[in-house]
Structure 1
């Protein structure tokens, strides 16, 4: 079974044919805490992660122990042989991390949104052979994520990777950060050779949900997991709710199912082609129905123009959405899917009608 096909050679050598596991506390807190966790997970993880500098949205929170924590990480490497990873947000962080032989440096979501900061880090990393991973920006912007990657690539860094930690969302959802799975899927399609790691801790914000998100990531051909781990997570100095104990980490990893990317068995290929043909036919029907629907929306636009009526009809839109959610539920279709689908259809209808009404 091979999960890491078509990946860069350096990553294959690092991970073998299994997903890469990066684990450790959200924050380094004390020398004893850092070492205790490391010894507890040394047989489960390849890379030990710990936050040394912690970017916080508002002042007054714990912002990390600072450079002294890098010496604690060096002791981890000496005692356990684990590789080391930490987040960097400035050129100074980079210089200190390199001076303390940190093996993997990652750029956090808050830093990725700032091209100036990413460029500063890229310049500081020129000439290094360290692994450098970039997390997705806090907002769902694939171009911004790729732009950060390209700045690092242009700096001559060879061992590059992506970390998917989800995206901030104004709406209330069960996760801390919305996965927006299509964005990392699009990233994989564009950069199939670059490793993509999932961070279920930051996506969920809840240790009880980490298993299901980690499994979904592997089912989507992610190349590894970064899971925050703490011996006493409830007393952690940061992000307590999303950290697991070493025992819980072992349970999560042992329950993961690794699947083949594909199968070359004739029976599988035959059945898959049969299903895909049916899907292609249905997709064609969907497009035909959407075309018919938009033609009716255009006719409504002409009627509104003739009678000088505004494009947006909020009551009608709510009526449609409530009806479709109800019928979607009856047809075992998720509410979030139905909402997204009909919002897209409604947006397109509004755009077309607005063009008709304001056309001269």
Structure 2
């Protein structure tokens, strides 16, 4: 996917030195005292660059707390004046954009629900025309890389060059330990497609609980993300929204203190030489794997011909179950994750089915080169 984004580097508008960008604050601005007191505690940690707070909250069902509304912008302004922290909030309509900018909010972000709707994103983009403000775009609720990039492009074409992405995980039917599945591969694909785009991680929404935050935050740093956006409340036990995933400012400081920060590159020539050697070995193995998969698919085509000639269905459930059981055991013996092995086998199986289906429904016999 071609990268068409024109990006101003993060450090040109907010230089955090060799430390990650940290955006923190309550999920929702609830009261003036709650927001300002939390802001002071966060500022006192010396770890936070930007204060975040939800002013308008798009809830799944009506009747739930949907944000304090515009009055909260005045509280953000006061918090900024008293602490010196920059401020950030989510916008979901053109009116939100106008009110937030009028109140002096420094950074805006587009939420996951909004990113999923190109009409909403375009409305926000139109309201940002001619404005010089940093904007972050969260990934859409569902795992759709094109939708994520499309939202970034719409904001970028409105003239926003101080642009970034927020990886907050994706909805999944599978129940796991996470509120939203990280699906790191999609974040990696975004980094590959848009290498100059700053990407920060939202462990709060990925985890859904504070116990897993350190694990995801460290993983994000190891994936070379530029920062974190974490929900922090003066007293999470009484938070009006997402109480389980918020942490106190003190707990946030402790989490950040325990992060291991690694460099993206090394200036050590011997390290680079050894790394190049190991990568060369991987390249050779990757080529061999692709060749072997190609050979496997040739055999799958022959099986398709044999099934066609004998009027047998493509899918053989018992055979598939046998493959999964045997190969996953082998994968575990080789210290490969069972989830990886199952997904890999499913991809191979789906391609085999596709090949056999093409053979069965073609008028001509496939050639060796097909």
Shorter-chain TM band: over 0.9
CA apart distance, 1:188? 1.6
Name the counterpart of 1:258.
Answer: 261
CA apart distance, 1:17? 2.6
8 Å CA contact 2:139–2:166 kept in 1: the answer is yes
Query: Are residue 76 (structure 1) and residue 79 (structure 2) matched?
Result: yes
Name the counterpart of 1:233.
Answer: 236
Secondary structure at 1:299 match in 2: helix
Deviation readout 1:207-232 (Å, 9 max, x if unpaired): 11111111111111111100111122
Name the counterpart of 2:3.
Answer: none
8 Å CA contact 1:328–1:335 kept in 2: the answer is yes
Query: Are residue 105 (structure 1) and residue 121 (structure 2) matched?
Result: no
- Which of residues 343, 347, 351 is equivalent to 1:344? 347
Deviation readout 1:114-157 (Å, 9 max, x if unpaired): 11110000001111111111101111111111111111111111
- Which of residues 315, 319, 331 is equivalent to 1:316? 319
Secondary structure at 1:15 match in 2: coil
Query: Are residue 269 (structure 1) and residue 272 (structure 2) matched?
Result: yes
CA apart distance, 1:241? 1.3
Query: Are residue 188 (structure 1) and residue 188 (structure 2) matched?
Result: no
CA apart distance, 1:192? 2.2
Name the counterpart of 2:200.
Answer: 197
Name the counterpart of 1:3.
Answer: none
Equivalent residue pairs, number: 355
- Which of residues 300, 303, 309 is equivalent to 2:303? 300
8 Å CA contact 2:8–2:162 kept in 1: the answer is no
CA apart distance, 1:10? 5.1
Name the counterpart of 1:28.
Answer: 29
Name the counterpart of 2:142.
Answer: 139
- Matched residues in 2 for 1:300 and 1:282: separation? 27
Query: Are residue 114 (structure 1) and residue 117 (structure 2) matched?
Result: yes
Q: Which runs of 5+ in 2 are unaligned?
A: 1-6, 364-370
8 Å CA contact 1:10–1:159 kept in 2: the answer is no
Runs (4+) off by over 6 Å = none
Query: Are residue 212 (structure 1) and residue 226 (structure 2) matched?
Result: no
TM-score when normalising by structure 1: 0.95
CA apart distance, 1:319? 2.5
Q: 1:2-17 residue pairs with structure 2 within 5 A?
A: 8=9, 11=12, 13-17=14-18
CA apart distance, 1:45? 0.5
CA apart distance, 1:194? 2.0
CA apart distance, 1:197? 0.9
- Matched residues in 2 for 1:321 and 1:199: separation? 35
Name the counterpart of 2:284.
Answer: 281
Name the counterpart of 2:227.
Answer: 224
- Matched residues in 2 for 1:295 and 1:317: separation? 18
Query: Are residue 150 (structure 1) and residue 153 (structure 2) matched?
Result: yes
CA apart distance, 1:31? 0.9
8 Å CA contact 2:8–2:163 kept in 1: the answer is no
Name the counterpart of 2:20.
Answer: 19
Tell me whether 316-325 or 233-242 shows the greater mean CA deviation: 316-325
